[in-house]
Amino acid sequence: MDIQGRKLIKIATAGSVDDGKSTLIGRLLYDTNSLTTDKIEAIERNSKQRGYDYLDFSLATDGLVAEREQGITIDVAHIYFNTDKTNFIVADTPGHVEYTRNMVTGASTSQVAVILIDARKGVIEQTYRHFFISNLLRISHVVVAINKMDLVDYSEDVFLKIKSDFDALVEKSNFHEDQITFIPVSALKGENVTRKSEHMPWYVGNTLLDHLEILEPEDLQERSVARFPVQYVIRPKTEAYHDFRGFSGKLHGHSLKVGDEVTVLPSGNKSKIKSIEFFDQKLEWVAAGASVTITLEDEVDCSRGDMIVRAGEEPKSEKAISATLCQVNSKALKVGGKYILQHGVNRVLAKVDQIESRIHTDFSGGEEADQLRLNDIGRVHFRLSKPIHFDSYETSKSNGAFILIDEGTYDTVSVGFIN
Amino acid sequence: MENLFIPNPKEAESIQILREVAAQFERPVLLFSGGKDSITLVRLAQKAFFPAKIPFPLLHVDTGHNFPETIEFRDNLVKELGLELIVRNVQDSIDQGKVREERGRYASRNTLQTTTLLDAIEEFKFDACIGGARRDEEKARAKERVFSVRDDFGQWDEKNQRPELFDMLNGKIHVGQNVRCFPISNWTELDVWEYIRTENIAIPSIYFAHKREVFFRDGMIWTANEHVFREAHEEVVEKMVRFRTVGDMTCTAAVLSEAVSLDDVVSEIRLSTISERGARIDDKRSEAAMETRKKVGYF
């Protein structure tokens, strides 16, 4: 539950230029009364200034000066709105050249992807890419919003044709059919966004908002094994807590209980959970997602970057890994390149051993490559200075992903998904 | 499922971020204004490091035009929690001739804070400044990172930001750079108020409705006192008001309100149709006001 007792759903939106994504989000905000009077006034003023005879909701989301001047979105923007039952966080990712980087970034923190398709254009190359990324990041649920239905006479045939083209993509992916939902909408006119459309009686499903509201965070959450990466060691050194030595971090994948037998990595030392503490509360049993402090029965060596797991559920520990990589910086990744690899909160040095292939984002396979440029996705082999304690991304999102940091600029240049 | 502790996801995320700040930087500082967002940060920091003390000091950049209620609150909080407080004054930057006081109808020290802040960062060699900014406040902030790298001049290069993937935070910086860290990026104004209510966190009295001498200008309610420029024809009246933010008096407008308790405030916010920054006079200066200030090192 979120702060207000509402559930929290995180959404990434994906669309190409001009398919009405900003309008759709603006419409969601407007119809849920999430736009305040001063924001609506600003939208009215701006729309009038530009000579539009309708309210341009896209102005509600386009943030930076350069974007307003050019009428495009250049970075991931975060948008917040809520209904009585649900708090939503939308990562709005722009749909032009730097698309892959932005969508990967937005999707990495989201459970649901809303992919927009212009009903007049149908499934296009961009759609392949959006869906490919949703598949690569193992997004839990995909909504395909077929927009601008008003411009195709609200035709069921158009909707069905697009759905069947999209289904062909689903077959090439790891998604199950029940993870994908198709909704015909008109963002501009507000049809099937929050209000059921009278123009499309043939559509019997939920409106977009109703659909997003019935999703349950628990169903969207990953179920794997408990991973507790140690962020910070707490040693108060005060009279009252003289011997206190707590390991703080955020738990992923599964719950943990007091009394659980654990292994501390990399030392491999075994112990038992003595207490789980959260501020002034002592907890017996904590669910994944909790930021807590754990104390152990035994004095074991454990510091930042180490990992506490349940005994018998140890992850792999290796000095050579292979991963699917997405390049998110304009500096290309090359064989022999050295980077700082950040895996959760742990950092090691990594060297690119081999670039196996560059992967096409249209599900058509890959090709040989000697480097990965910005927005490229490829399969890469690394050698590490020290072993990391990982799972495959397929088994554990939190323990199967990493970023690469450039040793010179310290920029985040790539994100990796361990195979 | 008895006794299973289910976390509040936004609170857990903020605590994770605060621990990353403490772990990744040598000299972090928490920018404390006495406002509800920085007060929330203090509570989150208590939770992140308990039973140890918060491992960084608070820095207050005082414009000299703060509401006295805020200053009193600040001093009490610091005493109660045994925190270290550093105060740096905009008046000193003015006296040193580094900035010039604005004059006239909309004179404010709000933008002058930037110089004082940058000087303090240099004086104490802070490498991370923790702030209570939220992405829902303003559209330029919607694109702000959780760890936002600033150069030696405190500048924000919005086109060259590091992408932030999953919850992995990259705080690697070069000498001279510093990072602005925003643990409650993903909270909304309502989230903050609900949290303050749930946790029963004390806040300055000016957040609640009280009688105050005010005057009306441009459809907004201004505090009437010696710090705020007022023209002869602008009539002073007494009204029941409260503040939604507690910035500098010269740029913080009041709203008419009868909300005297946290419950009242929360219901008022829920029904409210004016966004919080709508009551910030500094943002009305131009549509790109916030973005322009951020680029030169403002929070």
Tens of pLDDT, residue by residue over B217-233, are 888 899 898 888 888 89
Q: Which residue has the tokens 């001049």?
A: B153
- Please give the CATH superfamily to which domain A7-220 belongs: P-loop containing nucleotide triphosphate hydrolases (3.40.50.300)
* Per-residue model confidence (pLDDT) at position B286: 52
Q: Is B87 exposed, middle or buried (0-12, 13-18, 19+ CB in 10 A)?
A: middle
Distance from CA of A139 to the nearest CA of B (A): 12
Q: How far is B89 from chain A (nearest CA, A)?
A: 31
Residue B268 lies in a domain: yes
Give the full edge-to-edge strand order of the sheet including A141-147. Answer: A77-82, A86-92, A7-14, A112-118, A141-147, A180-184
- How open is the CA angle A139-A314-A340, to the nearest 5 degrees? 65
Model pLDDT, residue A109: 94
- Model confidence over B130-167: pLDDT tens digits? 999 999 887 777 778 999 999 877 787 777 789 999 99
Residue B139: phi, psi to the nearest 5? Answer: -70, -30
Please check whether residues B184 and B261 belong to one and the same domain: no
CA distance B36 to B205: 11
Chain B within 8 Å of A248 (Cβ-Cβ)?
yes
Touching check for A82 and chain B: CB below 8 Å? yes
- Report if residue B4 sits inside a domain: no
Closest CA to B297 of B149, B109, B171: B149
Q: Where in chain A is the domain with CATH 2.40.30.10?
A: 228-310, 316-418
Q: Which residues of A touch B13 (CB under 8 A)?
A: 291
Whether residues B165 and A104 touch (CB distance < 8 A) is answered with: yes
CA distance A101 to chain B (A): 8
pLDDT of residue A371: 96
Which residues neighbour B138 within 8 Å (Cβ) at sequence distance 6 or greater? B277, B283, B290
Residue A3 with chain B: CB contacts under 8 Å: 8, 10-11, 187, 191, 194-195, 198
Q: Give the residue carrying structure tokens 């970034």.
A: A105
Whether residues A255 and B10 touch (CB distance < 8 A) is answered with no
* Distance between CA atoms of residues A333 and A63, nearest Å: 31
Give the C-alpha distances (Å, rounded to integers) separating A278 from A119, A292, B196.
Answer: 50, 5, 18
- Angle, alpha carbons A257-A259-A262 (nearest 5°): 85
Q: Note whether residue B99 is domain-resident.
A: yes
- Say whether both B239 and B123 belong to one domain: no
pLDDT > 70: percent of chain B: 90
**pLDDT in the model for residue A100:** 87
Dihedral sign of CA atoms B180, A398, A413, A91 in order: negative
CA distances from A114 to A21, A84, A134, B290 (A): 10, 21, 10, 30
Cβ contacts of B17 on chain A, cutoff 8 Å? none
Beta strands (DSSP E) in A148-192 are 180-184
Residues 6+ away with beta carbon under 8 Å from A181: A141, A142, A143, A144, A205, A211
The pLDDT confidence band at residue B194, using thresholds 50, 70 and 90, is: very high
- Single out the residue of B19, B20, B86 nearest to residue B57, CA to CA: B86
Same domain, B62 and B120: yes
Beta carbons of A3 and B158 less than 8 Å apart = no
B201 touches chain A (CB under 8 A): no
Indicate the fold that domain A228-310 takes in CATH: Elongation Factor Tu (Ef-tu); domain 3 (2.40.30)
Contact B163 A328 (CB under 8 A): yes
Distance from CA of A317 to the nearest CA of B (A): 20
Asked if the structure places residue B235 within a domain, the reply is yes
Q: Is the pLDDT of residue B180 over 90?
A: yes
Structural domain span for residue B117: 9-191+288-295
Quote the number of domains for chain B: 2
Reported as a pLDDT band with limits 50, 70 and 90, residue B106 is confident
CA dist., res. A334 & res. B213, Å (int)? 67
The answer to whether the beta carbons of residues A61 and A35 sit under 8 Å apart is no
Domain co-membership, B133 together with B216: no
In this prediction, residue B218 carries a pLDDT of 84
What pLDDT tens digit does each residue of chain A (419 aa) get?
566 678 999 999 998 877 888 889 988 988 888 887 777 887 888 888 888 777 777 776 655 455 555 555 567 888 899 888 899 999 988 766 567 888 999 999 999 999 999 999 999 988 999 999 999 999 999 999 999 999 999 999 999 999 999 999 999 999 999 999 999 999 988 999 999 999 999 999 999 999 999 998 888 888 899 999 999 999 998 888 988 999 999 999 999 999 999 999 999 999 999 999 999 999 999 999 999 999 999 999 999 999 999 999 999 999 999 999 999 999 999 999 999 999 999 999 999 999 999 999 989 999 999 999 999 999 999 999 999 999 999 999 999 999 999 999 999 999 999 99
Q: Are A38 and B274 in contact (CB < 8 Å)?
A: yes
Residues B103 and B186 in one domain: yes
Does some domain include residue B2?
no
Query: Is there a single domain that holds both residue B261 and residue B148?
Result: no
* Residues B146 and B217 occupy one common structural domain: no
Statement to judge: residues B100 and B67 lie in one domain:
yes
pLDDT band at B284 (very low <50, low <70, confident <90, very high): low
Under CATH, to which class is A316-418 assigned?
mainly beta
Task: Compute the half-sphere exposure of residue B166: CA atoms within 13 Å on the CB side of its CA.
Answer: 25
- Closest Cα in chain B to A94: B143
Is residue B51 within 8 angstroms of chain A, CB to CB? yes
Q: Kindly give the residue spans of alpha helices, DSSP state H, lying in A32-155.
A: 37-49, 65-70, 99-108, 125-136
CA distance B199 to B43: 9
Q: Which residues contact A201 (CB under 8 A, 6 or more apart)?
A: none
Residue A226 contacts residue A310 (beta carbons within 8 Å): yes
d(CA A91, CA A319): 34
Q: Could A232 and B22 be called an inter-chain contact, meaning their C-beta atoms sit closer than 8 Å?
A: yes
Q: Establish if B82 touches chain A: CB-CB under 8 angstroms.
A: no
A positions 386-405 inside 8 Å of B (CB): 397-398, 401-403, 405
pLDDT on residue B142: 78
- Interface predicted TM-score (ipTM) of this complex, two decimals: 0.94
Nearest Cα to Cα of residue B93 among B72, B69, B109: B109
Give the dihedral of Cα atoms B242, B243, B246, B248; nearest 10 deg: -100
Pairwise CB contact (< 8 Å): A290 & B7: yes
Position B283 scores a pLDDT of: 54
Task: Inspect the interface and report whether the beta carbons of B198 and A82 lie closer than 8 Å.
Answer: no
SS3 A224: coil
- Angstroms from A52 CA to nearest CA on chain B: 19
Q: β-strands A346-359, A366-367: how paired?
A: antiparallel
- A410 part of contact set with chain B, CB < 8 Å: yes
Tell whether the torsion through CA atoms of B131, B133, B139 and B142 is positive or negative. Answer: positive
3-class secondary structure, B143: helix
What is the CATH number for B75? 3.40.50.620
Q: Does B135 share its domain with B231?
A: no
Query: In terms of CA atoms, which chain B residue is nearest residue A76?
Result: B143
Nearest by Cα to B140 from B151, B154, B156, B128: B156
Contact B215, B224 (CB under 8 A): yes
